[in-house]
Every structure is written in C-alpha cells, then in structure tokens.
Structure 1
Amino acid sequence: MSQTPTAERLRNRLVDAILSERAVPSEVERAMRTVPRDAFLRGIELENAYTDQAVTIKDNPGQPLPLSCASVPSVVAMMLDQLGARPGDKVLEIGAGTGYNAALLTELVGGGNVTTVDIDSDVALHARSALNATGYESVTVIERNGLLGVHENAPYDRIIATVGIWDIPTIWWDQLADGGRLVLPLRWRGQTQSVALTRHGDELVSDGMELCGFIPVIGQNGEQTASLNATDTIRLHYDQDQVIDTDALADTLAAKKPTGHFLSAQRIGGEESFDGVWLRATAEDDRVCRLEATAEAISQDLIHRPATPGRSPVLVEGGSLAYLTLTREGVDPERPFRLGAAAYGPRGEELAHDLIAQIDAWGTARLAVPRMTVTPSATGAAPGHIINKPESRLTLAY
C-alpha cells in the first residue's frame, strides 16, 4: 500500500528534479529543501505546490496575465544562483509575491537582512502573513511601488526583481552598493532575459543571462502592442524607441502573399533551444520585435507558421517583415528541424536574409551570450550596440 507523499518528500523530489537539469550552489539547494513552498500557497493542492510550474495567487480581471504569481521553482533556483547572496548581506526584493522567495533569501543571508516590496496591498499582506506563519518574521515587507525601491534600508549588497523590468530605474543605482549585484528579468526587443549585473561605479556589467518569463512590473509602459489584423489574431510587440508603421504591416499581411520562405544552414534537435538567435539579433539590429500569432491565425492560413507562434523574433522595416520559422526535415534524425525565415512585403526577402545571417552567426556559437553594460541614460556608453531607454542605456557586445 503506497503512502501519501509528505510535503518534505515532495519538496525533496522537486529539488532533485531541478538538480538533474542544472547545477545550483549547495546553499541554494539547502534553502530550497528547507523552506516549505506549500505554506506560501494557501488553497493549492500539496502536489501542485511542488511541481515545477508557476502558480497564480491574484488574478488581473480583463488582462491576459495575472497580477501576481509564484514563480517557477527552477527559475527561482536559477536567479538565486545568479544573485549569489551571502551570509550577512542586505538584500532588496522587488515583487513580494507569495513571500516564498524572501524566505529563501533569508536562509541564504543568515544574519543579514531581507526587505521585500510590492505595489499591491493584498499581495504584500499575503507575503507578510505567510512569512510570519513560517518563522520568517525578520523579513521587512513594504507596500510600495517597487520602482522606487526602499531607501530606508539602503544601500543593499544585492537587489533582485521578480517582475519583468523594461527600464532600470535611476533610483535603484542609489540603493545598490558599489560592487553589489542586481539580478532582474530585463525586457528588450520583445524578449525577457534574467540578467546578472555587478555595479562598478557608474556601470552595471553582466556576467550571465538566461531566458525567462515574468509578469511585467506595474508602471513601465515602454513596450507597445499593435494588432496587425481585424480579428486581433496577429500582434506585434515592440519598444517605444522603434518606429513601426503598423498600418502598412497590416496591409501587407492582409494580402496573404508572402515574398518567400528561406532556409538557413542551421538544424536543431527537438529539445534544443534556439532563443539565442533572438538574443544575438538584438545585439546588432534595431529592427527586432516580437511577433505573436494565435492558433486561429495559423489554422486560417493568415500567416505562415512562426517558429514559436506566441513569441517569435521578427525584423520589421516599413511595410515589410521577416520572422523566424522552424521546418521539419528528415535529413538528420539527431537534428530534424531547420531554421529559416518567412518574408512579407517589398523588402521582405532582404529582411529574411538579414535574419538568416543572424541565425548562421548563432549557429557558430550556440551557447554564447553578449556582455551587457548598463549606464544611466545621462552618462556615456560602453563600446557595442546601444539601446536607449528613458532612464538607462543598454550596450550589448559579443
């Protein structure tokens, strides 16, 4: 007769599964085996609390994304690894969520100090109650716009954001100690990467980034969304500094006449990530956006199927576009898929070849990531490809 799994067994099983996919520091492993995630997810089935998936804790009526959720545990482990919090550190968390991450941080800093902030009163209260109930009363919970930070306990040795950030607020620089680390899900050109940055005076310099997905922070509206057809089944997501002629693009797609479909030399396996193509393109080309196509749009042949329909990189110029595609070929059983580009509009073929050049460049070093240097927008920039935002300037270089 099988026994009902206990929370501890389920917790250890989840951590074992995470460790089978990626190496994490022993202190992060210990924290995740110690903190009871189920205690921070009231009303959730015990087994669901220990699956590697996000859990919504507050809906956002009328919006496609929830207002707050508990992050995927493997992503939590990855970001804590990036953060490198040490005993005695002062840590600020932007986005309190359930309070679970603040509890993990408390385990990591030992005699240090953890402050977590959330703009939503219900979320902040949930975090406070759960932290008190699990013995983490030492965590400071603040109800406030996280974009303002928490100056009362600054400066911090570590700052971590658990919401998607489009622009790094200038005020955070004042609250991060020189030599301190900032880890955040940073959004640019339609993608989100968890970027680990260390402050060196007036520069934040990356030493790693990994693809992730987070609910956008409230209060930053630099990413725009435009419908490209009458039924709103094809959408373009782009940054405010990009000049996009959405009417011309809509007219081009309405004709349903692709300029062509072009294949690169790069093949991939079924489980192999190709998001590095997108990342590499953003380090050289300001025309990169995100294309979103619903299943309805694809089934009605309104558009050639993108590589990942909900989120594929696309190059846009005037009324022309070219986006990433994935085609199954039987040539290589180990790598049965071939990357390419679908083109629309008068300059579509040219854009497709530009995208294929990015695909082939990625293919020569598939795991390479760029070095990102961030400076306040009022200061100079490091050598590389520059993306300007209102409060910060990103420079990317391979």
Structure 2
Amino acid sequence: MGQTPTADDLRNRLVDEILQDVRLTADVERVMRTVHREAFLPGIDLPEAYADQAVSIKDNPLGGPLPLSCASVPSVVGMMLSQLDVRQGDDILEIGAGTGYNAALLAELTGDNGHVTSIDIDSDVALHARTMLDRAGYQQVHVMERDGLLGAPENAPYDRMLAAVGLWDVPAAWWEQLGEGGRLVLPLRWRGQTRSVALTRHGDSLVSEGMELCGFVPIIGQDGEKTTTLNTDDTIRVIHDEDQAVDAGTLGNSLSNTTGIEVMSEQRIGGEESFDGVWLRATATDDRVCRLQVTPDAMTQELVLRPALPVRSPVLIDGDSLAYLIVRREGVDPQRPHRLGAAAYGPHAEKLAQDFIAHIEAWGAARTAVPRLTITPAKSDMTVGPGHVISKPESRLTLTY
C-alpha cells in the first residue's frame, strides 16, 4: 500500500501536468511550485485543491449559473501569469481578489521590492482574500474593497495590471493607471468569445503580444453583452454584443419553419485538435458573429442540427437567417477524421452557410495564426491603420491578421 501523497507531492504533480499543455515561464513555474494553494481554500481536501479545476468560494446571489467568485483553474492562472511577464520590483494591480492565491503568486514574482494591490467589489471576497493572505504570510499585499471598473488610483501608476474577471470593455479609468510600457492582461470578450489578451501600452494604444482561449466570471457593472432566446422553451439562445441586431421572432420562425441545410468545408481536424481559431478568425472581418447556446433538451428533441459545441459555437446572424459551426465524422483520413462545416436556417441559409465556410477555409490556411489586437480609448481620434474595428462605449478594438 503506497504512501498518501503530501501537499508538496500534489503541487509538483499538478505543475508537471500543466507543463504538458501550457508553456509557463521559469519564474511562474517556480512560484506555482512554491505557493500552497490549499492554504487559500480552507475546507477543501488536498486532492481537490490540487486538481486543475476552478473552486467556487461564493455563489452568485442573483442565482446565475456562474459563481460570484472562485479560485481559477490553475493552468489558466499559470498561462495568464506567463503572459503578464512580471519583473522583480514591479507595482501590480490585480482586479478580482478571488481567494488571494493569485495575489500570493504575484507577490512572489515581484519580490520584496515590488508591491501588489488586489481589489474586489465584494466585501466578503475581499475579506476572505485578506484573511488567507495574512495566514499564509503575505501581509505585504494590499487588499481593498473597490469597484474593479474604477481600479485603484491611489497606488497607481502600475507596471502590470491583471484582471481575474471577464471584461467586455476596457474601462476608461484603467488608462490613467497603467504606466507607459506597462502590460495589461485581461480576459476580453468580443463577438461571444473570450480571449486572455496580453497588451502593452504605447501612448494611447494597447497593442497585443498574444492571446489565449479562456473563460472567466464576468465583472459586475458591464452589460454590453446580451442574451436573446429564440424559442419559447428557452433552450436555444444567442449571446451577442449590444451593437448586433438579433430578432428573436424572425430567427425563431426560421428555426421552426424551415429545414436546416448542411454545407461542408475542405478542412479536417484530429480528435484533439482545437478549432476555436475559426471563431477568432471570423471576428476579424465579420460583424455578424455571435455565440449560439443550445441546451441538452433542445438536442434531445432534435430542434436543430447539432452544433460543433452545443454550449458555445460561433454563429453568423443576418436578419431572418443564421449559420453555425458543425463537425461531422468522416472516415476518409484516420489522422483527421472530423470535417468542419456549417448548418444554416432561414431564407438566406445557402448564402450564409457559404460565408461561414469562407471563414473556415481562411482559418484552415493558417491554423495557428492570431490577429494583432490594438485597443484605443473610445474618445481618442487616433487611427491605428488597416484592420477591422469593433467599437464599444469606452474602447475601440482593431483586429488585423
């Protein structure tokens, strides 16, 4: 009978597992092997504390499907900290205190000459983080109850800013708090998908240094993303930005009164190969991209042709018609047995399906390419050159491949 693994064993085993799929900097690997995650999760047993999964610490008081606060998935934590590229002596602002674990990692990264400020809008969450940090020996971290959208100007300017909550827009207040040449890493949502984007400030521009797929609890106070239900049972929904017109009535009629068509592309994928880049590629040219969400009940009743991922698939919406991503297994190529395509409904189904196929083929020509994202303040008159522009109330996004 083997010995029960210790916390150190489990922590090192977790980091070893993360390194198989995520590229961590040497410093991030070191601090993830150093900081005790279980110290920030009282009442959670060791195996759960060192599983690569999120742990909720406070449920949503409004009864929503997502918790108000949680300990993020460790592999995502490591990925975002590697994007942040903290240096010794940096002044850091963390938006979303969570359990305090992330702030402890940041404190280790910035060292004795740096400073970490961690803020959260919820008093219970801020108190939890403060208590756990004190117990773990990180009294130097400054924890405050603050609205994350306003930041913490009293300790600015910051060399690094990290958002541990999902943002739909870049708050205007943050521009005054990030120093020139500073780096901001945030989970940013546009056109229904979320990417952890690393941005460096150059004057009045934030320019991306890379982006990775992720998902986060949304920040309180931003409501530019809308949900529209397409049927009376609320089993088929579209999540879209406020500038996108989605008519539930006409789209619902198209789904219930027309037969869906399938059009397949030439692009094939292996069983473990990601195809999320199709969505990202489409957002860089097409303002019709949204997110389709189909519940298991809708699948059981066969209300629609099965989307690639029922809970989150890209969809093009144009008036009374829609087309979304599908994956079909074909045995022609054993290395890449799955083929990507589009299912479409409505009077213009064929045209919309072909438009979607064009996005798939564009992705297929350069599968690992990511766009350059440049963000400027909405009030700024500066232009950033060619690219596809998505305007939000407080910022302007420009995507260029």
Range into which the TM-score falls when normalised by the shorter chain: over 0.9
Residue of structure 2 in register with 1:77 after alignment = 78
Asked if 2 retains the 8 angstrom alpha-carbon contact of 1:381 and 1:393, the reply is no
Pairing partner for 1:255 from 254, 257, 267: 257
Asked if 1 retains the 8 angstrom alpha-carbon contact of 2:258 and 2:346, the reply is no
TM-score for the superposition, normalised by structure 2: 0.98
Shift of residue 256 of structure 1? 5.1
Shift of residue 219 of structure 1? 0.3
Q: 2:218 & 2:132 partners in 1: Cα distance? A: 24
Q: 1:59 & 1:5 partners in 2: Cα distance? A: 31
SS of structure 2 residue aligned to 1:148: coil
Pairing partner for 1:387 from 362, 382, 390: 390
The list of structure 1 runs, each at least 4 consecutive aligned residues, that deviate by more than 3 angstroms after superposition, is: none
Q: 1:18 & 1:285 partners in 2: Cα distance? A: 34
Asked if 1 retains the 8 angstrom alpha-carbon contact of 2:228 and 2:246, the reply is no
What count of residue pairs does the alignment treat as equivalent? 397
Residue of structure 2 in register with 1:112 after alignment = 114
Q: 2:294 & 2:257 partners in 1: Cα distance? A: 16
Asked if 2 retains the 8 angstrom alpha-carbon contact of 1:52 and 1:74, the reply is yes
Instruction: Give 1:1-398 correspondences, 5 Å limit.
Output: 1-61=1-61, 62-110=63-111, 111-255=113-257, 257-258=259-260, 260-379=261-380, 380-382=382-384, 383-398=386-401
Q: 2:253 & 2:166 partners in 1: Cα distance? A: 32
Q: 1:356 & 1:242 partners in 2: Cα distance? A: 21
1:299 maps to a residue whose letter is T
Asked if 2 retains the 8 angstrom alpha-carbon contact of 1:31 and 1:108, the reply is yes
SS of structure 1 residue aligned to 2:176: helix
SS of structure 2 residue aligned to 1:86: coil
CA offsets 1:287-337 (integer angstroms, 9 cap, x no match)? 000000011101111010000000000000101000000001111111110
Higher mean displacement: 377-386 or 93-102: 377-386
Shift of residue 23 of structure 1? 2.4
Asked if 2 retains the 8 angstrom alpha-carbon contact of 1:53 and 1:73, the reply is yes
Which ranges of structure 2 fall in alignment gaps of 5 or more residues?
none
SS of structure 2 residue aligned to 1:3: coil
2:146 maps to a residue whose letter is R
CA root-mean-square deviation: 0.8
Q: 1:74 & 1:256 partners in 2: Cα distance? A: 43
Shift of residue 22 of structure 1? 2.5
Asked if 1 retains the 8 angstrom alpha-carbon contact of 2:227 and 2:240, the reply is yes
Asked if 2 retains the 8 angstrom alpha-carbon contact of 1:256 and 1:303, the reply is no
Of all paired residues, the percent bearing the same amino acid is 67
Asked if 2 retains the 8 angstrom alpha-carbon contact of 1:157 and 1:181, the reply is yes
Asked if 1 retains the 8 angstrom alpha-carbon contact of 2:158 and 2:179, the reply is yes
Shift of residue 255 of structure 1? 1.7
1:51 maps to a residue whose letter is A
Asked if 2 retains the 8 angstrom alpha-carbon contact of 1:372 and 1:397, the reply is yes
Q: 2:233 & 2:110 partners in 1: Cα distance? A: 51
CA offsets 1:358-377 (integer angstroms, 9 cap, x no match)? 10010011000000000000
Q: 1:174 & 1:265 partners in 2: Cα distance? A: 48
Q: 2:353 & 2:109 partners in 1: Cα distance? A: 47
Asked if 2 retains the 8 angstrom alpha-carbon contact of 1:263 and 1:340, the reply is yes
TM-score for the superposition, normalised by structure 1: 0.99
1:185 maps to a residue whose letter is P
Which ranges of structure 1 fall in alignment gaps of 5 or more residues?
none
Shift of residue 392 of structure 1? 0.1
